[in-house]
Amino acid sequence: MTTHRITDPRTAALHAATADQTWDLLVIGGGASGLGTAVEAATRGYSVLLLESHDYAKGTSSRSTKLVHGGVRYLAQGNVSLVREALHERGLLKQNAPHLVHDLGFLIAAYKWWAAPFYGIGLKMYDLLAGKLNLKASRYVNRAQALERTPTLKKAALKGGILYFDGQFDDARLAITLLRTLEDHGGVALNHAPVVGLIKDGGRVTGARFRDLETGQEHAVRARAVVNATGVFVDDVRRMENPAVKPMLSPSQGVHVVVDRRFLPGDSAVMVPRTDDGRVLFAVPWHDHVVIGTTDTPLPETNVEPRALPEEVEFILKTAAQYLDPAPTRADVRSVYAGLRPLVKAAEGTDTKSLSRDHVIRISDGGLITLTGGKWTTYRRMGEDTVNRAAAQAGLPQRLSLTAGLKLHGAAAPDTHLADHWQVYGTDAAHIRALPGADTPLHPELPYTEAEVRWAARAEQARTAEDVLSRRLRALLLNARASIEAAPRVVAILAEELGRDAAWEAAQVQTYTELAGGYVLN
């Protein structure tokens, strides 16, 4: 039986990307910034092509703390306008992607008498800044209520705490949802297609050359505006225009560990407002596991596969042990992942904790538009600002933004709740459940089914084991070892769907096993 699809979505995208046309916008980079910009452009009726070197959300956008938040920490730093904007975007995203975002209670445990009133006042301000899009109001909880919500909190000297609400989401699934939304509105996006050079005419950037990694062939594309949204790699693309340009980023790494849900049962997350190094730390229930992080470690260089340093893991576990009982140890870690923050450089000697978390749009002399900084929560606003600038720069007809009210692909009625992991697919879940293998689990320790692998290949441009196991499904982050064990079956299904041979299968399993080994701690 051959189920190979002749018109899989990536092949269709490659045809469109190599057709003879001048795009209104070319977006380089398929993370939150690039996808947000591309969706913004397509919904305004501009023609748009997005090129991604690896896969959507391969970079920082699959490695976040999974919060749609205003940033309590930025409020403490006095950055009120940033927090207000992010809280507004939090409310919009919840309305527009109810299948991907839900409210979550965060408990700040108080072990000193002054802690609850102190944090309580700040969080009232947080509630107020959210305006009419606020989630539930923050409130004081006594010791018994705190323990009811979070039974594993350390009990000695616990006075009570403050409970506040923020949003939680699945970052890579939001990226894939934006890809589908882009396609729904006539935009084109191609993964495994790195931009390797920019095309210039008389000093103006008018396009780019990209390599299709599946054939090795290079292609040229032309565009009226070119947006560089390559995350921590923006300086590499800026150097393609001008090799002498000064770097604008100062990357810093953030690490998370993932452990079993038994370390944080109950329905709340825990927020530690001040760790020993002056940061915040979260322990957040996510897909029936717990994500704990993060760190802030300045790095001299960027890497597509950043790796946690031993001291970062140690710091997270040590801090968690100050609040949780039982506390997870190294042996309990199911996966450890690291992400790089594209922080915009400040003056010499500034430490990265205080660098700008605001987004920055910079336009070069040749017209290359670089978008960086910001956060997932504000991706829509970043896209809106970038398309405004790009339209003006390229002389495109000015058109109003529609994305504040745009329902994203798969958005179901807000009160529709599908069981467990099917929720993230929204209205697509019914189609996936009709595919072969909807009742066949991929692995006893993972929630996923074989049907989802077929869907990933047929509808979501998945091409490799990693595309499936890391970003269409979240197996790599939830349980790296189980994901390695599931890889051969995933690869066999992909081979069937995409028409690949046994040599491809063997190479895929090996490549994935090596990559996922970097997420296993023990």
- The residues binding ligand FAD (CB under 6 A) are 28-34, 51-54, 58-61, 63-67, 69, 194-195, 229-233, 237, 254, 294, 339-342, 372, 374-377
Nearer CB in complex with ligand FAD: 51/390? 51
- Closest contact distance (angstroms) between CB of 489 and ligand FAD is 26
Q: Which amino acid is at 239?
A: R
- Provide the CA 248 distance to its chain's centre, in angstroms: 22
Name which of 67 and 72 has its Cβ closer to ligand FAD: 67
Backbone angles phi, psi at 233, to 5 degrees: -100, 10
H-run or E-run covering 340: strand 335-341
Nearest distance, CB of residue 180 and ligand FAD, angstroms:
17
Q: Are strands 204-211 and 218-228 parallel, antiparallel or unpaired?
A: antiparallel
Q: Take residue 332 and report the two structure tokens written for it.
A: 């309990």
Instruction: Provide the minimum distance between the beta carbon of 379 and ligand FAD in the complex, in angstroms, as a whole number.
Output: 7
Q: At closest approach, how far in Å is the CB of 382 from ligand FAD?
A: 8
**Please, what is the minimum distance in Å from the beta carbon of residue 282 to ligand FAD?**
8
Q: Residue 160 or residue 306: which is nearer to ligand FAD going by CB?
A: 306
C-beta closer to ligand FAD: residue 63 or 99: 63
Whichever of 160 and 342 has its CB closer to ligand FAD, that residue is: 342
Mention every residue, 6+ apart, whose C-beta is less than 8 A from residue 102: 94, 167, 168, 169
The amino acid at residue 90 is: R
Nearer to ligand FAD, 352 or 427 (CB): 352
- For the chain, the first-to-last Cα distance in angstroms comes to 41
Q: How many CB atoms lie within 10 A of CB 387?
A: 31
User: Considering the complex, what minimum distance in angstroms separates the CB of residue 254 from ligand FAD?
Assistant: 2
Distance CA 504, CA 51 (A): 24
Q: Residue 448 and residue 407: Cα distance in Å, rounded?
A: 26
Nearer to ligand FAD, 205 or 442 (CB): 205
In the complex, least distance from residue 130 CB atom to ligand FAD, rounded to whole angstroms = 15
Question: Which residue in this structure is represented by tokens 């400040």?
Answer: 346
Min dist CB 395 to ligand FAD, Å, is 25
Q: Which is nearer to ligand FAD, 30 or 91 (CB)?
A: 30
Q: Identify which of residues 376 and 422 has a Cβ nearer to ligand FAD in the complex.
A: 376
- Alpha carbon distance 417, 424 (integer Å): 10
Q: Which among 372, 374, 408, 353 has a CA at the least distance from the CA of 230?
A: 372
Q: Which is nearer to ligand FAD, 268 or 294 (CB)?
A: 294
Kindly state the tokens that stand for 445. 């320790």
Alpha-carbon dihedral of residues 282, 286, 290, 292, nearest 10 degrees? -30
Output the smallest distance, CB 469 to ligand FAD, in A: 17
Query: Any residues with CB less than 8 A from the CB of 391 and at least 6 apart, and which?
Result: 44, 46, 225, 397, 398, 399
What tokens appear for 103 in the block? 């409210």
Buried b (16+ CB within 10 A) or exposed e, 349-385: eeebeebbbbbbbeeeebbbbbbbbbbbbbbbbbbbb
Nearest distance, CB of residue 340 and ligand FAD, angstroms:
6
**DSSP string spanning 84-132?**
HHHHHHHHHHHHH-TTTEEEEEEEEEE-STTHHHHHHHHHHHHHHHTGG
Instruction: Report in angstroms how near the CB of residue 516 gets to ligand FAD at its nearest.
Output: 18
Q: How far apart are CA 53 and CA 229, in angstroms?
A: 12
Question: In terms of CB distance, is 30 or 410 closer to ligand FAD?
Answer: 30
